[in-house]
Amino acid sequence: MGQESREFLPAARRGRRASGSTIAFIVVHSMEWEGNRAAAQTGKWFQRAESLGSTHLGVDDVSTHRYLEDEVEARGCRPINPSALHIEQAGFAAWDRDRWLEHEATIVRCAHAVATWCLSYDIPPRWLLPHDLQVGGPRPRRQQGITSHANVAGAWGLSDHWDPGLGYPVDVLMAHVMGFIRRADVGRAGLEPATGGL
Ligand SMILES: [Zn+2]
């Protein structure tokens, strides 16, 4: 994986999770930024007062940065923030599949974080489409699975975001997630984000 790079860059937009909320969802996003500094740049943007959003983690090809502790509610996408963990990936929603696959290292880093969260919070590693989200509802009691910002927008219509885009290789992400879970080598892969420090 090369030299590991990770930092804790606490985001400005941080909420208190309602007590008793189940962490039921993992939501993947794209930053609309690219390059090996994209995860750090996104963290620095989230630190600014004028930034309206936040996520827990961000990855690019060479780094995994933490922006919020898992216990904190991110402003990632309504209406599921109280029940969700969010991760940003370097890349653009407009990218096609081939372009995303040029950055499989980013997808592997994302998958590692997703697998770690699945194991930590007992979230099933299944991909949820808008219909699945509607069935479970935005504040389910049981853990539900993994989805995209686009699917959350599709389920509840509260946003026009469509990241990480139609070309994003969900199959590749999920294959890596399953690989990490099956080999149980989360924690040994050298891809951990920094722990929160607040
Ligand atoms: Zn998004």
Report which of residues 55 and 6 the model is more confident about: 55
For the stretch 119-146, pLDDT in tens is 999 999 999 999 999 999 999 999 999 9
From residue 122, how far is each of 44, 126, 152 by CA, in Å?
31, 12, 21
Strand partners, 146: 26, 127
Distance 148 CA to ligand 1 centre (A): 8
By the 8 A CB rule, do 195 and 71 touch? no
pLDDT (average), residues 149-157: 97
Distance 76 CA to ligand 1 centre (A): 7
Distance 77 CA to ligand 1 centre (A): 7
Distance 177 CA to ligand 1 centre (A): 20
For the stretch 74-114, pLDDT in tens is 999 999 999 999 999 999 999 999 999 999 999 999 999 99
| pTM given for the model | 0.92
Tell me, what's the pLDDT at 3? 47
Quick one: fold of 25-183?
Lysozyme-like (3.40.80)
Distance 2 CA to ligand 1 centre (A): 28
Distance 116 CA to ligand 1 centre (A): 20
Tell me, what's the pLDDT at 79? 96
